[in-house]
Copies of this chain bind each other. A is one copy, B any other.
Amino acid sequence: MAGVSCAPALIALDWGTSSLRGFLMDGAGAVLEQRGSGHGIVNLPEPGVPGFEAAFAAMCGAWLDRFPALPVVAGGMVGSAQGWREAAYADCPADARRLAAGAAEVGTARGVRILIAPGLVCRAPGAAPDVMRGEEIQIAGALLAHPGLAARSLLVMPGTHSKWVVVEDGRIIRFATYMTGELFAVLCRHSLLGRLMTEEAATPEAAEAAFARGIAMARDSVPGDLAHQIFAARSLGLTGELPAAALRDFLSALLIGHEVVSGTRRAASEGAPLALVGEDALCRRYGAALQQFGTPPAVQLGNTAPAGLFHFAIAAGLVAPPAPGAQETLP
C-alpha cells in the first residue's frame, strides 16, 4: 500500500436480487472494510422505499456517522424497474463513462445521495436484444484491475445467467447471456432428470468421466440438440452406463459444453485472451470445460464488483483517478 492513501474515499454498494454488499474504499480503490446483508431487492426489511432506506441505513449508517461526506455509489438490481430508482439500460458499446452518463440518483432519508449505475442492452441487427445488470460493474472492475484485458478480450462470467462479453478498446462491444445455471437448477429440481440423481457425490474418477462425456456430447451436437441430449441424463442412468451419483456432473458438463460451443462461436473473438470472472469453484468447472475445447482461460478473476464500483465512481467524478500504477493494489 506504499504511496496509497488509506483515508476512506467511497462507499460502494453491490446491491443484487438476494443480497447487499457494502464496501468502504480508500482513494486507491482498496477495500478498507466490507459488510454483507441478506437485504437484496426482493428481501428488504419492508416493501418499497422504506425498505430500501432501512437496508441502506443498516448497512451504511455507522460508516456515514464516521465519514458523513463520503460519496455513495451502487450497482446491480437496485437500479432495475423493481429497484430503488430505475437506471435505464444504456446501449453498447459502453465503458465506465457511458455507465456514469446513464446513472440515476436517489436521495436518502439521511440526506446523502446514491448514484446508481445503469444496466446495459446489446442490440444487434436482426437479433433479440440482450441485457445485463450488475455484470457491467464487474466488467468495469476487471478492466480497471487488469488493464491488459482492456485492449481486446473475451470475458466469460459463469453463473445463473452467464455472460459472454467481448471487450475492445476498454469498451463492452457486445455480449450474450446463457441461462445455463438456471437451466441446470430447474432441471435438477423440477424435471424428471432429477429423479435418478442422488445427494451423494460421485467418486472423483466417476465425476471426471461423466464430465468428460457431457463435454464430448456437447462438442458433437448439431443445432437444436439440447432438449434431446439432456434426456441422456436419464437414459444413461436407466441403462446403468453412468452411476446415479455422476448424473449431475454429466448434466452440468453437457450444459456448460453447449454454452462454450455457442459462446465461442458468437463471440467471434479468436485470439483474444479469455478471462473467467466469478465464483471460484464454478470458474474452475468452466476452466476444465474450456480446456477440453482447447481454449483454456488466460486468467481467472474473483469478485471484481468493488473495483468496478470504484471505476464507476471515478468516471462519475466522485473520486479522483488513482495515480498510475496504483491499479496493482486493486482487488
When chains A and B are docked, how far (Å) is the Cα of A255 from the Cα of B230? 14
**Cβ 8 A contact of A231, one of B161, B190, B230:** B161
When chains A and B are docked, how far (Å) is the Cα of A178 from the Cα of B226? 8
The reply on A66 being an interface residue by CB < 8 A is: no
When chains A and B are docked, how far (Å) is the Cα of A179 from the Cα of B231? 7
**Cβ 8 A contact of A222, one of B128, B193, B234, B262:** B262
Interface stretch (choices A107-115, A138-146, A180-188, A273-281) = A180-188
A234: B residues at CB distance < 8 A: 131
- Report whether B222 and A266 are in contact in the complex, using a CB–CB cutoff of 8 Å: yes
- Report whether A128 and B235 are in contact in the complex, using a CB–CB cutoff of 8 Å: yes
A237 → chain B closest CB, angstroms: 10
- Secondary structure type dominating chain A contacts: helix
The reply on A218 being an interface residue by CB < 8 A is: yes
* Residue of B whose beta carbon sits closest to that of A213: B128
* Residue of B whose beta carbon sits closest to that of A81: B238
Q: On chain A, which size bracket covers the interface?
A: 35 or more
**Cβ 8 A contact of A183, one of B130, B222, B227, B258:** B227
- Report whether B190 and A235 are in contact in the complex, using a CB–CB cutoff of 8 Å: no
- Residue-by-residue, is A210-243 near B (CB-CB < 8 Å gives 1, otherwise 0)? 0000000110011111111111101110110100
The reply on A192 being an interface residue by CB < 8 A is: yes
- Report whether B130 and A235 are in contact in the complex, using a CB–CB cutoff of 8 Å: yes
A137: B residues at CB distance < 8 A: none
- Report whether B259 and A222 are in contact in the complex, using a CB–CB cutoff of 8 Å: no
User: Max chain B CB contacts within 10 Å: which of A161, A223, A229, A241?
Assistant: A223
When chains A and B are docked, how far (Å) is the Cα of A93 from the Cα of B130? 45
List CB contacts (< 8 Å) of A144-184 with chain B.
Answer: 161, 176-180, 182-183
- Report whether A239 and B177 are in contact in the complex, using a CB–CB cutoff of 8 Å: no
* Residue of B whose beta carbon sits closest to that of A183: B227
When chains A and B are docked, how far (Å) is the Cα of A259 from the Cα of B231? 13
Instruction: State whether A217 and B128 are in contact (beta carbons under 8 Å apart), knowing that A227-B258, A258-B227, A266-B228 are contacts in the complex.
Output: yes
A76: B residues at CB distance < 8 A: none
- Report whether B221 and A224 are in contact in the complex, using a CB–CB cutoff of 8 Å: yes
The reply on A129 being an interface residue by CB < 8 A is: yes
The reply on A10 being an interface residue by CB < 8 A is: no
**Cβ 8 A contact of A262, one of B217, B224, B261:** B224
* Residue of B whose beta carbon sits closest to that of A250: B128
- Report whether A178 and B231 are in contact in the complex, using a CB–CB cutoff of 8 Å: yes
A182: B residues at CB distance < 8 A: 191-192
A249 → chain B closest CB, angstroms: 15
A180 → chain B closest CB, angstroms: 5
- What are 29 A-B pairs with beta-carbon distances under 8 A? A89-B239, A121-B239, A128-B232, A128-B235, A129-B235, A129-B236, A130-B235, A161-B192, A176-B228, A177-B228, A179-B191, A179-B193, A179-B227, A179-B230, A180-B227, A182-B191, A186-B187, A186-B191, A190-B190, A222-B261, A222-B265, A224-B226, A224-B259, A224-B262, A224-B263, A226-B226, A227-B255, A227-B258, A228-B259
